[in-house]
Structure 1
Amino acid sequence: MWPFNSSKQPEQTAVVDAPAVNAPAANAPASDFIRSHEFENVHGSQPVTEEAPTAAGLLHNTALDPAKLHPLANIRVDDLEYLDIDDDKPNTLEGARTALPSRGWSDDLCYGTGTTYLGGLTVGSLMGLREGITRPLGIDNPTMRLRMNAILNQVTRRSTFIGNSAGVIAMTYNLFDASIDAMRGKHDIYGSMASGALSGALFRSASGPRAMLVSSAIMTGAAAAWTGVKRAVL
Structure 2
Amino acid sequence: MADPRTDGRGDADHRQHSGGRRPYNPYHELQIPYRTLYDLPTSPEFLFQEESVAQRRSWGENLTYYTGIGYLTGAVAGASLGLRCALRSTEPGDTLKIRVNRVLNSCGQDGRRIGNRVGVIGLLYAGLESGLVAARDTDDWVNSVVAGLGTGAVFKAANGPRSAAVAGAIGGLMVGAAVAGKQVLRRYVPI
Q: Say yes or no: TM over 0.5.
A: yes
AA aligned to 2:79 is S
Runs of 4+ in structure 1 deviating by more than 6 angstroms, as ranges, are none
Contact 1:90-1:103 within 8 A present in 2 as well: no
- Give the Cα–Cα distance (whole angstroms) in 1 for the partners of residues 139 and 133 of structure 2: 5
Other-structure match for 1:221: 173
Contact 2:82-2:106 within 8 A present in 1 as well: yes
Contact 2:82-2:111 within 8 A present in 1 as well: yes
The yes-or-no answer on 1:150 pairing with 2:120 is no
Contact 1:200-1:218 within 8 A present in 2 as well: yes
Contact 1:89-1:103 within 8 A present in 2 as well: no
Which is greater in Rg?
1
3-state DSSP class of the match of 1:187? Answer: coil
Structure 2 matches for 1:59-138, cutoff 5 A? 84-86=48-50, 88-89=51-52, 91-92=54-55, 102-137=56-91
Other-structure match for 1:169: 121
More helix per residue: 2
The yes-or-no answer on 1:205 pairing with 2:169 is no
AA aligned to 2:62 is D
Offset of residue 85 of structure 1: 5.0
AA aligned to 2:88 is T
Query: Which deviations, in whole Å up to 9, do the C-alpha atoms of 1:76-129 show, x marking residues without a partner?
Result: xxxxxxx8353x33534xxxxxxxxx4333322211211121111111111111
Backbone CA RMSD of aligned residues? 2.1
3-state DSSP class of the match of 1:222? Answer: helix
- The answer for unaligned runs of 5 or more in structure 2 is 1-46, 187-191
Q: If the length of structure 2 is used for normalisation, what is the TM-score?
A: 0.65
Other-structure match for 1:186: 138
Query: Which deviations, in whole Å up to 9, do the C-alpha atoms of 1:20-43 show, x marking residues without a partner?
Result: xxxxxxxxxxxxxxxxxxxxxxxx
Length, aligned pairs only? 140
AA aligned to 1:134 is R
AA aligned to 2:67 is T
Q: If the length of structure 1 is used for normalisation, what is the TM-score?
A: 0.54
- The answer for unaligned runs of 5 or more in structure 1 is 1-82, 93-101
